[in-house]
Amino acid sequence: MSSEHAKNIETATRLVTAGRRKEWTQGIVNPPVWRASTILYDSVADMRANAARDTHHRLFYGRRGTPTQWALADALTELEPGAEATFLYPSGVAAISAALLSVLSPGDELLLPDSVYDPTRGFATGMLKRFGIETRFYDPLIGAGIADMIGENTRAIFMESPGSLTFEVQDIPAIVAAAKARGIVTLLDNTWATPLYFPAIEKGIDLTILACTKYVVGHSDAMLGSVTTTAQYWHQLRSTSFALGQVVSADDAYLGSRGLRTMGVRLAHHGKSALEIAQWLKTRPEVARVLHPALDDCPGSDIFHRDFKGASGLFAFVLNGGDDAGRVALLDGLELFGMGYSWGGFESLATPMDPDRIRTATTWQAEGPAIRLQIGLEDTGDLIADLAAGLDRFAAAGG
């Protein structure tokens, strides 16, 4: 496909065509699983010549990948207009830590939203601190006010929108504008929206991160992460990631490519079902607030409607009074919702969430205990019946 034509095609088409190169697959539709460590050379001269060349998209040694990994990385890049390239990681957390290490040095300061995924917080306050990088936490709703937090040593601003657990939607354009005015690098954990609902590079983000474990893989059976970036940051991201020895197995990359092809239809279904269930929860007296970015209860929902092309399937709700025992009664009796970490698979999940234990820059105030839901691909009537029975158990427990 000519690059001019490629620029103009719709996202749904791009999801089908992205990353597929006949010279890698010889015409096989999905990239075959090329497992490799050693790559054999014909001669010393051949080996030396190869070592002297750029290894991007060139077989060199297993850690630099094979067409199986390149196909997924390229497909993710093609979903981000304006991006240069993508590096793959064995988990979302590995992607986050490599992205941060690629842009920060001792003496730098990082700004993190108070709503950030807890392991991202832990990496910053633990390992980054050990290496002389300080972190300050900001109110995720700070918007343009971030300019007042930027100090002499501030080097990077990290965003996650909506925030893990509590779903505040950040004013990314305002934060990006403030960062650009001071030459500060911006990073976004875009796992919830994916490039389909928030094309991060086009919106001015420098490094966009996906826990591909969630919607890209989509079937709860592989761990995977990615960082997609611009020409300005690609070489430092790549060399840092090589130095860290980051590589994804061909089998997991294959599962990522396979999942990606159906991510659009899955996301549309997750999004529609999640909104229907969120709206139903809002009608229930046992529920105080529903933290779904498309609903008014959710802080920043006006920004969501302005900036996002759609919503995925993860949201939360706050119970109206009651205590943990009532919440446990609700959760333990659920039949269709599984209980476990992660999200983005085909199956629904429900987990208790307690953000007050995590926050440092803001306080979490809630009318009662809270629950996070990942809405899968089941029938919404069945899921609502399961939740209705759960809310009855909560009420019976005195909630």
Ligand X SMILES: Cc1ncc(COP(=O)(O)O)c(C=O)c1O
Residues of this chain that interact with ligand X (CB under 6 A) are: 91-93, 117, 160, 164, 189, 191, 211, 213, 223, 225, 342
Measured CA to CA, the distance from residue 380 to residue 298 in angstroms comes to 22
CB of 40 to ligand X, least distance (A): 33
Give the nearer residue to ligand X in terms of CB position, either 171 or 189.
189
Which amino acid makes up residue 19? G
CA nearest neighbour of 67 among 105, 100, 28: 28
Name the DSSP letter for residue 163. Answer: P
Residues near 146 by beta carbon (within 8 Å), at least 6 away in sequence: 111, 138, 157, 174, 175, 178, 179
Give the nearer residue to ligand X in terms of CB position, either 169 or 391.
169
Is 117 an active-site residue? yes
CB of 91 to ligand X, least distance (A): 3
Q: What are residue 336's phi and psi, to 5 degrees?
A: -100, -25
CB of 342 to ligand X, least distance (A): 5
Neighbours of 13 (CB within 10 A): 13
Give the nearer residue to ligand X in terms of CB position, either 290 or 349.
349
Task: Say if CB 33 and CB 66 are below 8 A apart.
Answer: no
Among 14, 74, 117, 197, the active-site one is: 117
CB of 189 to ligand X, least distance (A): 5
Give the nearer residue to ligand X in terms of CB position, either 246 or 288.
246
Is 214 an active-site residue? yes
Give the nearer residue to ligand X in terms of CB position, either 96 or 281.
96
Give the nearer residue to ligand X in terms of CB position, either 177 or 244.
244
CA nearest neighbour of 178 among 157, 200, 153, 201: 157
Task: Say if CB 368 and CB 399 are below 8 A apart.
Answer: yes
Among 189, 252, 297, 307, the active-site one is: 189
Please name every residue paired with 22 in a beta bridge, in sequence order, or none if there are none: none
Among 63, 129, 180, 309, the active-site one is: 63
Residues near 116 by beta carbon (within 8 Å), at least 6 away in sequence: 137, 158, 160, 163, 164, 189
Task: Say if CB 146 and CB 104 are below 8 A apart.
Answer: no
Residues near 333 by beta carbon (within 8 Å), at least 6 away in sequence: 389, 390, 393
Task: Say if CB 45 and CB 58 are below 8 A apart.
Answer: no
Residue number with the smallest Cβ distance to ligand X: 92
Measured CA to CA, the distance from residue 328 to residue 331 in angstroms comes to 5
CB of 198 to ligand X, least distance (A): 13
CB of 96 to ligand X, least distance (A): 6
Give the nearer residue to ligand X in terms of CB position, either 162 or 322.
162
Is 189 an active-site residue? yes
**Strand ordering across the sheet containing 370-374:** 287-291, 314-319, 370-374, 349-353
CB of 321 to ligand X, least distance (A): 28
**Strand ordering across the sheet containing 225-229:** 85-89, 225-229, 207-210, 185-189, 154-160, 109-113, 134-138
CB of 39 to ligand X, least distance (A): 28
Give the nearer residue to ligand X in terms of CB position, either 90 or 143.
90
Q: What are the DSSP E strand ranges found in 179-293?
A: 185-189, 207-210, 225-229, 287-291
Would you call 389 exposed, middle or buried from its count of C-beta atoms within 10 A (0-12, 13-18, 19+)? middle
Is 138 an active-site residue? no
- Which residues does the annotation mark as catalytic? 63, 117, 189, 214
